[in-house]
Structure 1
Amino acid sequence: MPELLIRDECEGDAGAIRAVTLAAFAGVSYSEQTEAAIVDALRAAGALAVSLVAVEEGEIVGHVAFSPVAVDGAPAPGWFGVGPLSVRPDRQRSGVGTALMRAGLARFGDADAKGCVLVGDPAYYRRFGFRASSLLRYPDLPAEYFQVLALGADTPSGIVAFHPAFAARDD
């Protein structure tokens, strides 16, 4: 098995990240196929608080983005949205996504982060400590798919909004 390197996104990585993200979500029934546009829009807005890539043999095989969120329409300092998390199809189920998530969450453990939220499969994200919460909610989604990982003692209460870049679409 090739060695996996997790590193920060660098200048010049955007095209490979886009390709991995498009491939990762191609044909996925729950996807609106907007994930690559979201990452591009987050980058253009300067809203990628953390953007990590997984590299094997010099090729990017995975990516995860973390960006600020709002609660009840106001910025929520120290709270971040996770996603998209993308892994090239031929490397899925091999630990690449897990390595990206663990590295990203470790970044927040070293900072003044208060928590992370995401929309995703509860069975997958439970391993990182994410759980549904009665305090934070995301409209129009079954509660179990919106998950929270508190990193500090204070969890706000209210409706979460991801960065406006999450409305991005490819034209």
Structure 2
Amino acid sequence: MNSDITIRDERTDDIPFITKVTLTAFSTLEISDHTEHWVIDALRDAGALTLSLVAVSDGQVVGHIAFSPVSVSDGTQGWYGLGPVSVLPDFQSQGIGSALINEGMSRLKALKAKGCCLVGHPSYYPRFGFKNIAQLSVDGIPQEAFFVYSFDGTYPSGKVQFHPAFFAPKEGLPKV
């Protein structure tokens, strides 16, 4: 990773830059519905951003990651969802996304989280210790795209539900 990158908690004045980073990072991805920035805003508005970290280079926000609580149908508590994570295209492939993930996971562990899950690309997330397990799933998501990481080696069983902000209607929200 570029040594002049700092990872820190988001501040209020970062919010418009987080939106820009998220929009830009997802703009060319065919798998995106381009609502990731609205998800972050809705999580923030709901008080559900457990962690919202930015990567900063020369005073500019170049990356962002969000973590929010999830519910598990078996009643297990202390699990979180990772995402979205985004890095400006000019700063991709420099380890910034990895640094955001590693720092976020470290902070979750310090918060006594039990585990973390995400929907993502099958070739990317296993390098961080995330894996697919048969006993945990999300409705409508292919099993090969749903990943989990347990901090204590135990896994719940059932269906994961991401925060409702991930599914909130996008009508009426300003287009950026």
TM-score by length of 2: 0.92
* Aligned 8 A contact 2:115 2:150 in 1: yes
Q: How big is the alpha-carbon RMSD for the aligned residues of Structure 1 and Structure 2? A: 1.5
* Mapped partners of 1:20, 1:34: distance in 2: 13
- The one-letter code of the counterpart of 1:151 is F
Closer/same/farther in 2, CA of residues 73 and 134 from structure 1, 3 Å limit = closer
Q: CA deviation at 1:73?
A: 8.2
Greater than 3 Å deviation, 4+ residue runs: none
The residue number in structure 2 matching 1:65 is 66
Task: Indicate if the aligned counterparts of 2:54 and 2:100 stay in contact, CA closer than 8 A.
Answer: yes
**What's the % identity of the aligned pairs?**
48
Are 1:100 and 2:100 matched, yes or no?
yes
Tell me the residue number matched to 2:20.
Answer: 19
Q: Aligned with 2:7: secondary structure?
A: strand
Change (3 A) 1:27 1:73: farther
Q: CA deviation at 1:153?
A: 3.9
What secondary structure does 1:13 align onto?
helix
Normalized per residue, the structure richer in strand is 1
> Per the alignment, do residues 29 and 73 of structure 1 end up closer, same or farther by CA in structure 2, a change over 3 Å counting?
farther
1:60-114 per-residue CA deviation (whole Å, 9 max, x = no partner) reads 000000000011285x421000000010111111111001000000112222110
Structure 1 Cα separation of the partners of residues 35 and 130 of structure 2: 24
Cα distance, 1:2 vs structure 2: 5.9
Aligned length: 170
Aligned counterparts of 1:140 and 1:42: Cα–Cα separation in 2: 21
TM-score by length of 1: 0.94
Task: Name structure 1 gaps, 5 residues minimum.
Answer: none
Paired residue secondary structure (2:123): helix
